[in-house]
Structure 1
Amino acid sequence: MTSGEKTLIVVPTYNEKENLPLLAARVFEVVPQVEMLVVDDNSPDGTGALADELAAKDPRIHVLHREQKQGLGRAYVAGFKWAIQHGYDLVFEMDCDFSHRPEHLPEFLEAVQDADLVLGSRYVKGGGTRP
């Protein structure tokens, strides 16, 4: 990643109060130069309020509140639109339940320097990250 590229990790949430602070800490430990957008679907467990608290303490965290549960796909689309509207150069998606591992982000950031799109899959034979 070059120093001028704005990078955003879009993280949809619904009842992820326990995972969110752990994920944010791990992402910023691995790639401190990125920012994170939490897209919360009005979680009844207070995830949205916790996201606001985290954002108040860390300017790299942003929160998009949605009024009702609209689903994971729509949360990602809303996050991608937000990223475009706010001028981000690179956008990554990451589930809050750690099914996407933050440890792979540096490799993706390196790979995107020579590509227009980087995809990772844990389901494809030989999936993961590689040069």
Structure 2
Amino acid sequence: MVRGFTLIELLIVLAVIAALLAIVTPIALNAVAQAKATQVASNLRNIKSAIESYVMITRGASGLQNQASLNDSHVLVSQGYLTKTAGLADYKVQATVATPTINATITYTGGVDISKLINILPEATGSNTEVTYSFSIPIWW
């Protein structure tokens, strides 16, 4: 006689799998959103560092005045302050000279959970579709 699983046993296994999926899915989605926010915060800090290096070395903000995407032709990428990576075009940079400082703004137009991003980078502002990170660089020269 061939023995197999009864219908009740199969239904119990399916119910257990469904319960596990109901618990694990929100946790996994939250982890993905947290990782994205961490990546964006890290990118904003790295771009800020690149802008500061560029301004200190060139002693000015020429090439940063127009809000432009960080693509291959952008001065920060073409002069080696930033490396071209996937998603870099979602960031825009603008800087203006307002003696005795240079005011810079980085705008991110990709999707990110703003509340998670602000927990990591409190200086960031905006919404889930557009994040702004502004800072000033003192002119010392």
TM-score (norm 1): 0.29
Which structure carries more helix by proportion? 2
Q: Specify which structure has the bigger relative contact order, considering alpha-carbon pairs within 8 angstroms and separated by 6 or more residues.
A: 1
Find the structure with the greater CA-based Rg.
2
The alignment's TM-score, normalised by the length of structure 2, stands at 0.28
